[in-house]
């Protein structure tokens, strides 16, 4: 008994002693002890001694080649500058890695990678990263605090807009030693910012061309990830080779991933040629996005004899928004009544039945099929309190959760819906004159920019519906590179936009809908939205400390976005459709929060040993 009492007393003394090396904060209090992870809300689900992520198989076989295909082209190997939209996919995570790694089993939680631990105070005003002394770049050079400071400064000045905005909030950054980086975030009031800093890519100071960083480049980069670039054919192919000396192979956040010796990423100009390559056995995996193909296109021999299998998977991710977005920088689209009326003419019921085998669901929220969605839910008292300073920001039917996208009769020529649209337009001062819809003599005429045949087919159908109310919508097909450049410069009238939803929406919303991004080149604020209500609710969701406060803020935010009629909502698949060769396999356990379920290079998959 005396021994137990002595042990208990010793443990209590140990627990009462501040952790060694605690750094005094400006307030005089010691910083917390280093921890193995950080969650946006609450604590990380995995303990400090976790062995691997739940959806990874640490016993997965290593070896072989993975062959995957992507639509489009690329002209750069730099995924971090303004021209990143035309950069090759498969570089982030494979070649470049960040301070910490995200678990796709939690809404937004990060665990050790280049930084093996993190210190953070309850107010999240100060954050310190402790780098793993073993961390190395692919050329063998150690990763130090100097590289982190270099990466931060470079991306803050020459990185993508969302990086510039987020990093610009940091008050100061310093490195007390070669393996410690401290950020001062006092006064920012952004609880997500420490996590944004934790997923910052770390670039090598000794091997980065600062002067040409803003340019598209095909120079093979030096990174810290599990793969290096072995071969490049511009716009056609990227071959990754597993780095046998990868320093982090046995980290808990990396076990069970990166199992192929080679990853061969092939680019195809259009979806049909991509599918034909898969049918011919030239590719191992395919995410199917065509309902027609999914319903009737998989009758080729490899499926019949079992060499290719189809799977339908579902997880807990919110379903994001896709739609024909109005560029409100164009004077034509300033009138919200015009935008709403044009949206009425999208005949989802006919399109879904005749073009998509009835497999899609109409999207009614920016966070559909999740607890973050406002659809079908009257605003709570807490939501109304957040919205009170902006009395005109949310329509009554949206506030009450009653609004849905208009439902057509499915005939393809719904006269009642056209009448409703024209009645609304008449109240807004529009009239049909000489067969054209006009206001003050000027016709309603615009271009819909698309990048592939699937988008073109959908846009042509929508344009045909608009003709019924005198609207001249012309569809223009452009190549991928031109499409991305015009998108980045907002050189379009209308285009298809996509806003993938996260289980933990945060800073990225500033670059999608925040006022500061409305005229910031290459931002994802395609509509040019600029609203005090949007800005305030983005701030509210970022400042939320509890899960309940966070859900309240996101639902209120969803209502404001819906009330703006910034786009014509399209549709989504409630499940993910995929097909793959039986020569490759995946873990039985799927991540709870991932969209799509797997990355473009199938990090958790492996090649079977036959």
> How buried is 529 (Cβ within 10 angstroms: 0-12 exposed, 13-18 middle, 19+ buried)?
buried
3-state secondary structure at position 248: coil
- Give the tens place of pLDDT for each residue, 16-64: 334 543 433 333 334 568 899 999 998 999 999 999 999 999 999 999 9
Checking if the pLDDT of 388 tops 70, the result is yes
CATH of the domain at 262: 3.40.190.10
pLDDT category, 505, cuts 50, 70, 90?
Answer: very high
Assess if residue 481 is contained within a domain.
yes
Chain-centre distance for alpha carbon 321 = 12
The DSSP bridge pattern shows strands 180-184 and 126-131 to be antiparallel
- Give the tens place of pLDDT for each residue, 237-249: 999 999 999 999 9
pLDDT category, 595, cuts 50, 70, 90?
Answer: confident
Q: Which domain holds residue 392?
A: 321-403+412-572
DSSP at 9: H
Q: 448 and 362 share a domain?
A: yes
The DSSP bridge pattern shows strands 262-268 and 65-71 to be parallel
Q: 347 and 491 share a domain?
A: yes
CA distance 329 to 525: 11
532-535 own/partner pairs: CB under 8 Å, 24+ apart: 532/390, 533/387, 533/389, 533/390, 533/393, 533/394, 533/560, 534/560, 534/561, 534/564
352-357 own/partner pairs: CB under 8 Å, 24+ apart: 352/571, 353/410, 354/412, 355/291, 355/292, 355/457, 355/458, 355/461, 356/291, 356/292, 356/571, 357/291, 357/292, 357/294, 357/295, 357/296
**Closest alpha carbon to 321 in 353, 357, 362, 350:** 362
3-state secondary structure at position 71: strand
CA distance 146 to 181: 9
CA distance 363 to 569: 6
Asked if 366 contacts 561 with a C-beta cutoff of 8 angstroms, the reply is: yes
Assess if residue 185 is contained within a domain.
no
Q: 300 and 345 share a domain?
A: no
53 conformational bin, left if phi > 0, alpha if psi -120 to 50, beta if neither: beta
- Give the tens place of pLDDT for each residue, 151-196: 999 999 999 888 998 999 999 999 999 999 999 999 998 899 999 9
Assess if residue 434 is contained within a domain.
yes
- Give the tens place of pLDDT for each residue, 260-295: 999 999 999 888 999 999 999 999 999 998 898 999
Q: 257 and 360 share a domain?
A: no
Q: 329 and 284 share a domain?
A: no
Look up residue 466 and give its two tokens: 């608009």
Residue 32 is predicted with a pLDDT of: 63
Assess if residue 387 is contained within a domain.
yes
**Closest alpha carbon to 71 in 500, 360, 453, 606:** 453
Please indicate whether residue 452 or residue 100 has the higher confidence score (pLDDT): 100
In whole numbers, what is the pLDDT of the chain averaged over residues? 93
Q: 396 and 349 share a domain?
A: yes
Assess if residue 417 is contained within a domain.
yes
Assess if residue 153 is contained within a domain.
no
Assess if residue 188 is contained within a domain.
no
Q: 578 and 567 share a domain?
A: no
CA distance 396 to 402: 9
| CA separation, residue 137 to residues 79, 91, 510 (Å) | 17, 14, 32
Q: 286 and 339 share a domain?
A: no
Q: 232 and 310 share a domain?
A: yes
Checking if the pLDDT of 12 tops 70, the result is no
Q: 331 and 312 share a domain?
A: no
Q: 485 and 547 share a domain?
A: yes
Q: 356 and 260 share a domain?
A: no
Residue 6 is predicted with a pLDDT of: 40
Q: What is the number of structural domains in the chain?
A: 2
Q: What are phi and psi of 168, to 5 degrees?
A: -65, -15
Asked if 83 contacts 76 with a C-beta cutoff of 8 angstroms, the reply is: yes
Asked if 426 contacts 338 with a C-beta cutoff of 8 angstroms, the reply is: no
Residue carrying structure tokens 């607890």: 371
Look up residue 318 and give its two tokens: 């919110």
Assess if residue 94 is contained within a domain.
no
CATH of the domain at 515: 3.10.105.10
């Amino acid at each position: 008994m005396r021994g137990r009492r002595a042990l208990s007393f010793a443990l209590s003394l140990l627990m009462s002693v501040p952790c060694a090396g605690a750094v005094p904060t400006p307030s005089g209090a010691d910083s917390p002890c280093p921890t193995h992870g950080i969650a946006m809300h609450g604590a990380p689900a995995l303990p400090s001694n976790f062995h691997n992520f739940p959806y990874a198989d640490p016993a997965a076989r290593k070896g072989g080649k993975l062959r995957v295909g992507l639509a489009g082209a690329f002209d750069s190997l730099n995924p971090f500058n303004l021209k990143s939209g035309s950069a090759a996919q498969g570089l982030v995570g494979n070649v470049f890695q960040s301070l910490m790694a995200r678990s796709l089993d939690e809404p937004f939680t990060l665990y050790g990678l280049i930084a093996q631990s993190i210190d953070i105070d309850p107010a999240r005003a100060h954050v310190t990263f402790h780098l793993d002394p073993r961390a190395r770049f692919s050329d063998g050079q150690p990763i130090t605090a100097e590289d982190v400071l270099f990466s931060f400064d470079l991306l803050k000045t020459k990185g993508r807009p969302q990086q510039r905005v987020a990093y610009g909030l940091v008050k100061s950054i310093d490195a007390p030693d070669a393996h410690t980086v401290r950020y001062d975030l006092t006064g920012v009031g952004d609880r997500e910012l420490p996590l944004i800093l934790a997923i910052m890519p770390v670039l090598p100071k000794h091997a980065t061309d600062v002067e040409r960083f803003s340019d598209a480049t095909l120079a093979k980069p030096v990174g810290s990830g599990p793969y290096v670039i072995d071969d490049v054919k511009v716009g056609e192919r990227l071959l990754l080779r597993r780095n046998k000396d990868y320093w982090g192979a046995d980290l808990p956040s990396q076990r069970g991933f990166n199992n192929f010796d080679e990853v061969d990423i092939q680019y195809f100009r259009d979806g049909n040629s991509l599918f034909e390559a898969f049918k011919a056995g030239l590719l191992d995996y395919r995410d199917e996005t065509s309902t027609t193909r999914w319903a009737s296109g998989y009758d080729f021999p490899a499926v019949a004899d079992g060499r290719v299998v189809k799977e339908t998977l579902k997880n807990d991710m919110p379903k994001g928004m896709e739609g024909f977005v109005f560029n409100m920088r164009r004077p034509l689209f300033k009138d919200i009544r015009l935008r709403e009326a044009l949206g009425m003419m999208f005949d989802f019921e006919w399109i879904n039945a005749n073009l998509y085998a009835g497999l899609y669901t109409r999207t009614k929220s920016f966070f559909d099929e999740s607890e973050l969605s406002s659809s079908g839910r009257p605003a709570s008292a807490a939501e109304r309190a957040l919205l009170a300073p902006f009395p005109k920001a949310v329509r009554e039917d949206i506030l009450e959760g009653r609004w849905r996208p208009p439902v057509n009769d499915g005939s393809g020529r719904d006269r009642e819906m056209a009448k409703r649209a024209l009645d609304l337009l008449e109240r807004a001062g529009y009239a049909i004159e000489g067969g054209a819809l006009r206001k003050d003599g000027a016709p309603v005429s615009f271009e819909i920019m698309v990048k592939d045949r699937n988008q073109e087919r959908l846009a042509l159908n929508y344009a045909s519906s608009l003709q019924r109310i005198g609207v001249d919508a012309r569809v223009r097909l452009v190549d991928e590179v031109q499409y991305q450049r015009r998108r980045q410069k907002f050189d379009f009238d209308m285009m298809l936009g996509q806003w993938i939803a996260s289980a933990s929406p945060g800073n990225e919303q500033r670059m999608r809908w925040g006022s500061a991004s409305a005229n910031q080149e290459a931002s994802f604020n395609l509509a040019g939205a600029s609203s005090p209500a949007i800005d305030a609710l983005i701030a509210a969701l970022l400042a939320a400390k509890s899960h309940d406060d966070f859900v309240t803020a996101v639902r209120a935010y969803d209502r404001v976005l819906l009330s703006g009629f910034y786009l014509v909502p399209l549709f989504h698949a409630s499940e993910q459709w995929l097909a793959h060769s039986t020569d490759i396999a995946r873990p039985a356990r799927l991540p709870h929060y991932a969209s799509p379920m797997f990355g473009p290079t199938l990090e958790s998959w492996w090649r079977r040993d036959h």
